[in-house]
Chains A and B, each alone.
Chain A
Amino acid sequence: MTETQGPIVCSEAVQQLWDYLDNAISPEDHQRVAAHLSFCRQCCGELEFAKELIRFLASRGVDEIPRDVKTRLEDFVKEF
């Protein structure tokens, strides 16, 4: 993603944070983001929030299935 070598600015680091957490960027970009995070408190806050958002999404994934829907689906499968 990053074309230039060397340090990156906050906006660039923030843009890549989720991909950084997902290991979806090149090793070079990963290293540059890590280097930026090593001194930038603001971006560390963004990083912690990105991690929290990932946990948040995972925690909102599964609902209770309504009883009537469950019964209908079970009956549906029994017809096979």
Chain B
Amino acid sequence: MVEVRDRIRESFQRLAAAELAGLYSLARRLARDGAEDLVQETLLHAYRSFGTLRQASAAGPWLKRILVNVFRDQLRRQARSVEELPVDRVEDFSLYQILVEEDPLPYSDTLHHDFLQAFGREDVREILLRLPVIYRAPLVLRYMEGFATKEIAHMLEVPLGTVLARLHRGRKRFERELWAYAQETGLLLKGTVR
């Protein structure tokens, strides 16, 4: 019996060790602070429900789903508002068009591409963290982690239509924040096209 338990524990430790970087990255994109705590709590939950993991190859998405659940519960405990925010003028914003009009990199033949390449991982994280969590979480899960919209709805416990609407507004807000961040930080003036 003890041997079986040891084998299970070793197996979990092996799987978890391989997923730490992915879990930590996801946690840092969902939460400004406390990413390490979030991963630790995820690992505790995951170990308790290790028996529900059917295939070792699915460990990454399985652990990330648990992390999202833990994060969602943390938000609820903190009683942060998960209400829809009032619709602002973000619907009309087009980063593509702004770049054409403002031409912030006049010597570039591939303006839109070069604009995006100026943003490193930490810049993108900072921009994502500026978005309200109701928009940030679906964006991260859909476009950085590759989860399907139905699955995101399940993880966040909201209807599919809500996820689609939040993705729509989230993308627009993200585009707007990319432009605002580039202007505030002088990113394009630094000549740091990466």
Contact = CB atoms under 8 A, between A and B. Distances in A.
Interface string B92-125: 0011110010000000000011001001110011
B22 A54 contact: no
Interface in A14-71: 14-15, 18-19, 22, 24, 45-46, 48-50, 52-54, 56-58, 60-65, 69-70
Contact of A80 (B12, B113, B119, B164): B12
A73 B94 CA distance: 42
DSSP class of B's interface residues: helix, strand, loop or mixed?
A: helix
| Residue from the set A45, A70, A76 with the largest chain B CB neighbour count within 10 Å | A76
Contact of A24 (B97, B125, B149): B149
B121 A76 contact: no
B145 A61 contact: yes
Contacts of B188: none
A73 B40 CA distance: 7
Nearest to B9: A80
B47 to A, nearest CB: 5
Nearest to A64: B21
Interface in B35-55: 36, 39-40, 43, 47
Contact of B121 (A49, A63, A65, A73): A63
Contact of A19 (B25, B97, B168): B168
Given A54-B143, A60-B124, A77 B168 contact: no
| Residue from the set B91, B96, B97, B116 with the largest chain A CB neighbour count within 10 Å | B96
Given A19-B168, A60-B124, A74 B144 contact: no
B163 to A, nearest CB: 9
Given A14-B94, A49-B95, A77-B43, A22 B17 contact: no
B21 A61 contact: no
B97 to A, nearest CB: 8
